Amino acid sequence: MKLNRIQRYLLLFLIAVLPGLGFAQTKAPGKGLSSKQIDALVERTMETFNVPGMAVAVLKDGEVIHSKGYGVRSVEKGGEVDQNTLFGVASNTKAVTAAALAQLVDEGKMEWDTKVVDVIPHFKLYNHYVTGEFTVRDLLTHRSGLGLGAGDLMVFPASNVTTRDELIHNLRYLKPVSSFRSKYDYDNLLYIVAGEVVARISGQSFEDYVEQHILQPLGMDNTYMSWHEIEDYSNVIDGHAPVDGELRTVGLSFTEAANAAAGIYSSVKDWSKWVQVQLNEGRYGEDLEQELFSKEQHKEMWTPQTLIRAGKGNYNTHFMAYGLGWNLSDQNGFYQVTHTGGLLGIVSQVIMIPELELGIIVLTNQQSGSAFNAITSTIKDAYFGIKGKDRVKQYNESRLRALERGKKVEEEVWAEVEAQQGSGASVDLSEYAGTYKDPWFGEVNITEENGSLRFVSANVSDLAGEMSYYNGNTFVVKWDDRTLMADAFVMFTLNKEGQADGFTMEAVSPLTDFSFDFQDLDFERKN
């Protein structure tokens, strides 16, 4: 990987300053919020961002000083949220996957730079050289060359029937958008491969390994490797999405094939145990006499691996990077370790400031990242001694601006559709109807029904909807399930006879979740 001058200087800085990552306790400039202040903050945030339920925990100096649930589990079923209510932690699962691999490194069964093909011989990417050089470390650091969320439609939404083995095989069809190890682009699929590495080296399923080697030692008996493994659903949230100004419950997001990337369901009480062992550098138990993973591997997971473009932001940030399962940055002069998670209707955030022995956890049952940011930023402000900032107002104004931009784009698209329908223009729909196939996504049937086209995916039953003519050879598909919030353009190519011989896709709204990676699809007609 070739670094420019600024990157080299930053790398030298990180090498000089961060290698020990042995954080001495530093006195916080502020004293933090009281539980009553946190209660008021959460209630205001839930009302502002229309979030039915939340759970929030704050850890300080080795103790859980606040742990509480708020609101309701479901707008349909009700039920109060408490500190034992189960939420999907989504991509906060990734740090658990990294920790499982760290344990195997500690045991001498592998190294971070073990080649993936030495563990999974049929692992293959689009580029032969990249395949041969790809390491376990590369699986965790979002620098593969694949684009943002590439291939997620093999595991998302949850009606997908693609198996884990099929997914690993299909990686070879995903075309890179940048050179290997040169650029950060967040992905999920390679964490799924990382879970398979855990399974093959340990001789257990990924799920069994984590349960026995991480959850059980930490006493996390109310944490499950996926929604499907939950033993008692009486205290589990529903996810919610705003549709036409009204909250609706949503279905599951990822399939079980994606457990190593985003599968875990946990409570804020249980997840505090996970965050505390991170703050303890892998130690747990009475007097911290037991070790989940070594201090050496803890440092490795918290060491920058892939640089990310940084801006000053709210806290005078100078660098951002991705470690192994964690986002890393400097915030107001302190080192911050964090991760977020997102499912349909569910988002989560974990923040740790190790020098302050501070951990913050926010779990929600509505897909507003602005909501958890408002809470965590306000709590951080208190410890940083920052006063006079209304983070709820700040994040809400930013959210409303984004929603307005997205609304404007969608309104313009549907206005064009209505204009075409009112123009009397004749479109021969039969030229577009047929069966099409993408090499990794599978087949799509486009049929002519009642004077319009209909899109139905063979592998993902959630992706079905009516298609409306837009212009040229482009249609817009409106999904039957409106909670997906992911309507898409379908752009056909024609052969010399004027019949469609393939199509590509693109999300209509700039706010569409990146896991709807329509841009990576390239369909060819089968018949």
- What's the 3-state SS for 79-109? CECCCCCEEECHHHHHHHHHHHHHHHHHCCC
Contact 218, 210 (CB under 8 A): no
Where residue 434 sits, what CATH number does that domain have?
A: 2.40.128.50
Indicate whether 331 and 456 sit together in one domain. Answer: no
Q: 312 falls in which pLDDT band (50, 70, 90)? A: confident
* Residue 317 maps to a domain: yes
* Residue 239 maps to a domain: yes
When divided into structural domains, the chain yields a total of 2
Indicate whether 221 and 333 sit together in one domain. Answer: yes
| CA–CA dist 399, 405 (Å, integer) | 10
| 457-509 tens-digit pLDDT | 999 999 999 999 999 999 999 999 999 999 999 999 999 998 999 999 999 99
Domain edge (last residue) among 401, 436, 471: 401
Indicate whether 375 and 257 sit together in one domain. Answer: yes
Q: Which residues contact 66 (CB under 8 A, 6 or more apart)?
A: 35, 38, 56, 57, 58
| 243-256 tens-digit pLDDT | 988 999 999 999 99
Closest C-alpha to 517, from 225, 186, 223: 186
Query: Mean pLDDT, to the nearest integer, of 117-145?
Result: 98
Domain edge (last residue) among 367, 401, 435: 401
311 pLDDT higher than 90: no
| CA–CA dist 222, 146 (Å, integer) | 35
Indicate whether 360 and 438 sit together in one domain. Answer: no
Amino acid 23: pLDDT: 59
Query: Mean pLDDT, to the nearest integer, of 111-137?
Result: 98
Q: Residue 426, by phi and psi: left (phi above 0), alpha (psi -120 to 50) or beta? A: beta
| CA–CA dist 105, 82 (Å, integer) | 37
Indicate whether 395 and 435 sit together in one domain. Answer: no
Amino acid 3: pLDDT: 53
Amino acid 424: pLDDT: 75
Indicate whether 360 and 456 sit together in one domain. Answer: no
423 pLDDT higher than 60: yes
| 147-176 tens-digit pLDDT | 999 999 999 999 999 999 999 999 999 999
Amino acid 21: pLDDT: 52
Amino acid 15: pLDDT: 45
| CA–CA dist 454, 313 (Å, integer) | 44
* Residue 153 maps to a domain: yes
Indicate whether 275 and 316 sit together in one domain. Answer: yes
Closest C-alpha to 363, from 57, 105, 122, 35: 57
Q: Which residues contact 75 (CB under 8 A, 6 or more apart)?
A: 52, 238, 240, 247, 248, 249
Amino acid 26: pLDDT: 66
Amino acid 336: pLDDT: 98
Q: Which residues contact 44 (CB under 8 A, 6 or more apart)?
A: 392
Q: What are phi and psi of 298, to 5 degrees?
A: -60, -45
Closest C-alpha to 313, from 405, 363, 380: 380
Amino acid 20: pLDDT: 46
Amino acid 24: pLDDT: 58
* Residue 208 maps to a domain: yes
| CA–CA dist 344, 157 (Å, integer) | 8
Q: 19 falls in which pLDDT band (50, 70, 90)? A: very low
Query: Mean pLDDT, to the nearest integer, of 421-435?
Result: 89
| 441-461 tens-digit pLDDT | 999 999 999 899 999 999 999
Amino acid 480: pLDDT: 96
Residue type, 215: L
Query: Mean pLDDT, to the nearest integer, of 271-298?
Result: 97
Indicate whether 218 and 343 sit together in one domain. Answer: yes
| pLDDT above 90 coverage of the chain, percent | 91
Domain range enclosing 459 = 427-525
Where residue 373 sits, what CATH number does that domain have?
A: 3.40.710.10
421 pLDDT higher than 90: no
Amino acid 426: pLDDT: 83
* Residue 416 maps to a domain: no
Amino acid 6: pLDDT: 43
Indicate whether 367 and 489 sit together in one domain. Answer: no
* Residue 500 maps to a domain: yes
* Residue 418 maps to a domain: no
Contact 135, 114 (CB under 8 A): yes
| 399-410 tens-digit pLDDT | 999 999 999 999
Closest C-alpha to 202, from 260, 262, 254, 263: 260
State the first-to-last Cα distance of the chain, in angstroms, to the nearest integer: 44
In the numeric block, the tokens 């399962």 are attached to 325
Contact 522, 504 (CB under 8 A): yes
425 pLDDT higher than 60: yes
Mean pLDDT for the chain overall: 94
* Residue 433 maps to a domain: yes
Indicate whether 208 and 158 sit together in one domain. Answer: yes
Query: Mean pLDDT, to the nearest integer, of 42-60?
Result: 98
The whole model's pTM is what? 0.93
Indicate whether 376 and 467 sit together in one domain. Answer: no
Indicate whether 363 and 491 sit together in one domain. Answer: no
5 pLDDT higher than 70: no
Amino acid 431: pLDDT: 95
Q: What are phi and psi of 357, to 5 degrees?
A: 50, 45
Amino acid 88: pLDDT: 98
CA angle (316 as vertex; 313, 320 as ends), nearest 5? 70
